[in-house]
Amino acid sequence: MTPPAGTHRFPGTTLRRIAPLLFSEAFIVAVVDPTIADLQAEFAAAGDNRARQLRARWRGYAAFWRVTLAAPFAALAPAPAAPSEVDAPAAPRRTGNLGTIAVIVAVLAVNRVFLGISFIVLAAAVLCAIVIHLWYERHPSDTAAPRDRSWRSPQINFSNMEVPGNIGGLIFMVGSLLVVLLGLPSVLWFLLIGAAAGSFVAWRLATWHARHPKWGLPENRIVLR
Amino acid sequence: MSPAGFGPLPRKEQLILELLVENGPMYGLELVDRSAGALKRGTVYVTLGRMEAKGFVESSHEPLPAGGIGLPRRMYRPTALGERMLGAWNAFTRQLAMEVKS
């Protein structure tokens, strides 16, 4: 494409320059470059018409920043799920329905004094569920729960709930913290310090395991017979 | 359960495959224009990138004219797998609708 006469700089040049600071290489190739290419193609097609040039810039820049906002939730999906994994959501859905009924019964059963805060907590939980659902709609190959988890009964123990290290797990964790905070605002500092300490321990563990990759492998374990 | 052991075909991916099968290879912006608002300019390439990773579409760069500058646009076309997936998905949804009605 050839830029219109009198144009000193082709639009999108700066965006392309800052893209590596914001996105991975794969995301740039698949998403960012075509978005900028559209902006440049529309700008070139506008010729010397200033109004059309302005419109092309506006639409192109808006698209780029929408891509930036969508990027954290838009990991490009891997290959389609294996047949055995397709049925996986059925059991969580049944559990989810039972959980929803339990929450509604609990809200209706609480004292009137706590009814207001109960609805606020319920609204936050619904919002969290909607966000996870929207994320799952966009990433049907991923789930917010680990696929190979061993059976546990977490009951009310948050530390026993396993989530994978992806955006779905992060949404679940942040949403759960928000729900607890709305119900029990007095534990704000406890949760904040706990989250900071937990993150620090996780970071130390990750770096330690990176330095000792063979630790914990079955052949290194001592088995008493 | 969905066709051929694949996960469900999301609405946007189905629409993109239908547009590409009906109209032949297209640029992302053409897909947005022909979708009557169903596809958005800011997210269409996320969907196309995901479909390319799944093997439903493939893309190639348009050749730049002599003296041209800027980034080349990408032209998308459906793969054989994408066309088969669309056909299987449409057959599956038709069958499902008939089962529900009967």
Closest C-alpha to A56, from A40, A70, A71: A40
The reply to whether the predicted model has a pTM over 0.80 is no
The CA–CA distances, whole Å, from A145 to A106, A171, A173, A175 equal: 25, 11, 11, 15
- Distance between CA A141 and CA A167 in Å, rounded? 13
Contact B64 A33 (CB under 8 A): no
Contact A140 B10 (CB under 8 A): yes
| Nearest CB to A37 within list B42, B50, B70 | B70
Which of A27-31, B35-39, B64-68 has the lowest average pLDDT? B64-68
Instruction: Check CB contact of A179 with chain B, cutoff 8 Å.
Output: no
Residue B1 placed within a domain: no
Residue B29 structural domain: 10-62+72-101
* Residues of chain B found within 8 Å of residue A82, distances taken between Cβ atoms: 5
CA B88 to chain centre: 14
pLDDT tens, chain A, 225 aa long: 555 554 556 788 888 888 887 777 888 888 889 999 988 888 888 888 889 989 989 988 888 888 877 766 665 544 444 444 444 444 444 555 566 666 666 666 666 666 777 778 778 877 887 887 777 777 766 666 665 555 556 566 666 677 777 788 888 888 888 888 887 888 888 888 988 898 899 889 888 888 887 776 666 555 554
- Distance between CA A224 and CA A217 in Å, rounded? 16
* CATH assignment of the domain containing B97: 1.10.10.10
Q: Provide the angle, in degrees to the nearest 10, between the axes of the packed helices A167-183 and A115-138.
A: 180
Q: Residue B71 has what DSSP assignment?
A: P
* Residue the block writes with tokens 């053409």: B30
Contact A79 B46 (CB under 8 A): no
Contact between B34 and B19 under an 8 Å Cβ cutoff? The reply is yes
The domain ranges of chain A are 13-73, 87-185
Residue B3 placed within a domain: no
Contact B55 A79 (CB under 8 A): yes
> What pLDDT is attached to residue B34?
92
- Distance between CA A78 and CA A57 in Å, rounded? 33
Contact between B20 and B81 under an 8 Å Cβ cutoff? The reply is no
How many domains is chain B built from?
A: 1
Residue B90 neighbours by CB distance under 10 Å: 15
Q: What is the DSSP string of A123-160?
A: HHHHHHHHHHHHHHHH-TT--SS-TTPPP---TT-GGG
